[in-house]
A and B are shown apart, each in its own frame.
Chain A
Amino acid sequence: MRISKLSLAVLALVISASAAQAQTNNASITATATVQTPINVIGAQALNFGNVFPGVNKPVAATDLTNAGRFDVAGQASTPVTLSFTLPATLSSGANTMPIDTYTGMRADDAGQTVGTVLFSPGASNAATLSATGTMFVWVGARVVPATNQAQGVYTASVTMTVVY
């Protein structure tokens, strides 16, 4: 039985096709990430010393719900954060200044200071953890030290709190 030319040609084609096939293969994997909720911080309440008399120091405790300064924080639930404060050394009224010192801090999971309360000294770096609902309330107290000849006026300064994950 003779093998036809057609058969030989096809057989050759099979062999040559196999040799010409590129030896390449690939596989894919997936990169994944879950971005957490951004941190939101608002200044909710001013640190209010009210009426101050020359020569009479006046403190406001961080536990003073009415007069302590308050920051409200919202972010990813149960996530550690770092608080950092910029605390002024004086209040100003025009050219006049009045010292402020003895800063104190209080943080809690609720605005009533009833859950997860922690007293702390506000500074450059304070570790904390957001609540299970992603919130945290921070109060700041301090003391003003008016001189005996402190000029009359409205004295102000800025207290800044930064929160990072």
Chain B
Amino acid sequence: MKTLSWSVIGMALLGAALPPVVGAQGKPLNVTGVRGLTFGAVFPGVPRVISRTDPANAGQVDIGYAKFSPILLTFTLPSAMAGPAGATMPLVFGASDAGYSSPETITSQVGFDPRVPFATALDKNGRAAVFIGGRAQPAPSQRAGAYTATITLTVTVLP
């Protein structure tokens, strides 16, 4: 009996160490960054817009989970990109700058506002892709150099 008790305790500890995002069907909730949002060469005073349908430059995150699962997509969006010597450049997202694609193709998206949580559901394949565009707004006196920012997509499985 003592051996059984320690076995169960061990199982409890093992359970605590397992990845927490395992669904009812035993599938993990996978959220994977596939491609960054790339503005490329930007000129001072000239805004640069990247559409969510831009196959080369739009950001992409892939989702995989149990089929037909209702999910909530929430973006954490930066307001500016950081550059050399502490310079910042505004980064703006609009009401149609994100897109949800069940077939995981950039040409087939349902647009949504990345500034607001978006509720949807995975299809029979249990997979989807989320695309994002945006607008970089360099000032006329914008310091030259490389600028970056981090965009985070959080996926929550709804009950």
0/1 string, A1-40, CB within 8 A of B gives 1? 1111011001101100110011111111111111111110
Q: Are A38 and B61 in contact (CB under 8 A)?
A: no
- Chain B residue nearest to A36 (CB atoms) is B43
Given A6-B5, A30-B36, residue A23 in contact with residue B146 (CB < 8 A): no
Q: Are B31 and A27 in contact (CB under 8 A)?
A: yes
Interface residues on A, range: 35 or more
**Cβ 8 A contact of B154, one of A6, A10, A26, A79:** A26
* Cα(A106)–Cα(B41), bound, Å: 28
For the residues of B in contact with A, the DSSP-based class is strand
Q: A2, A28, A39 — which one has the most chain B CB atoms within 10 A of its CB?
A: A28
Given A11-B8, A14-B11, A26-B155, residue A34 in contact with residue B146 (CB < 8 A): yes
Chain A nearest CB from B5 CB (Å) reads 5
Q: Are A35 and B12 in contact (CB under 8 A)?
A: no
Q: Once A and B bind, how many residue pairs between them come within 8 Å at the CB atom?
A: 163
Q: Are B1 and A2 in contact (CB under 8 A)?
A: yes
Residues of B within 8 A of A (CB): 1, 4-5, 8-9, 11-12, 15-16, 20-23, 29-46, 48, 59-61, 78, 81, 83, 89, 91, 132, 134, 136, 138, 140-157
User: 25 pairs across A/B with beta carbons < 8 Å?
Assistant: A1-B1, A3-B1, A6-B8, A7-B8, A22-B20, A24-B29, A25-B29, A25-B31, A26-B31, A27-B152, A28-B33, A29-B33, A29-B35, A29-B59, A29-B153, A30-B36, A30-B37, A30-B148, A30-B149, A34-B39, A35-B144, A35-B147, A38-B140, A165-B44, A165-B46
Residues of A within 8 A of B (CB): 1-4, 6-7, 10-11, 13-14, 17-18, 21-39, 76, 79, 164-165
